[in-house]
Amino acid sequence: MSELTIKLIIILIPGAIATLIFGKLILHKEWSSFRFVLYSIIFGILSYLFLQLIINGLNLFSCIELSDLTIWKNLNNASLIPYQEVGFATTISIIVAFFSSMIENRKIINRVAGFFGISAKYGDENLYSMFLNSKNVQFVYLRDIKNQLTYHGWVKSFSENETVSEIRLADVAVYNYSDSKFLYEVGEVYLSLNKQEIIIEIAKLEENGQETSQ
């Protein structure tokens, strides 16, 4: 591994950290190596740009005189690694990751695009994640068609892959699917089911907050 490669890896640390945090805070499918590297580069550049803006702001509005970042000027010089700049940019990258996650989770870009009639797309996640992530989804009926069971409970967590839907329900009542006969109750249940064999319905609430009958 060359010295230049090592330098590039070190200066991309802020971007890699931001990407890891961003990936933990948003709903997404598994990223390819190419996408992870691409996000690391983008977040890294943003972190250094914001650091430069902070330096410019301090130079403009205070008596402190700071020099510009050297990372732009000495990028091809493998022997000069600006460790201090990498450290400051890493701190900023955490803020960038949280801010970017907020934008993604609140669908700000999609909402702006929808407001101007540019796109009606809600976001990158599929309808399963979008549905269960909605604020009005609390108590649900999950109907397991294959095993002829209906689970009634509130959604604690969920995930999925290409074929399987996973969901964790609490305060669960279990019924027969065909005649809605009550079978038993459990505190929590974890279900991993074929996504083609389930139906999820929102439990309708009365005005007094009590649920309607199953």
CATH code for position 143 = 2.30.30.100
| 125: pLDDT strictly greater than 70 | no
Q: What is the pLDDT of residue 2?
A: 78
Structural domain of 196: 127-202
In a domain, 118, yes or no: no
Q: What is the pLDDT of residue 123?
A: 61
In a domain, 192, yes or no: yes
| Residue 10: CA count within 13 A, CB half-sphere | 19
In a domain, 120, yes or no: no
| 42: pLDDT strictly greater than 80 | yes
In a domain, 49, yes or no: yes
In a domain, 156, yes or no: yes
CB 97 within 8 A of CB 21: yes
In a domain, 22, yes or no: yes
Q: What is the pLDDT of residue 124?
A: 60
In a domain, 122, yes or no: no
Residues 171-184, buried b or exposed e (16+ Cβ, 10 A)?
ebbbbebeeeeeee
What does pTM read for this prediction?
A: 0.67
Total count of domains within the chain = 2
Of 35 and 124, more confident: 35
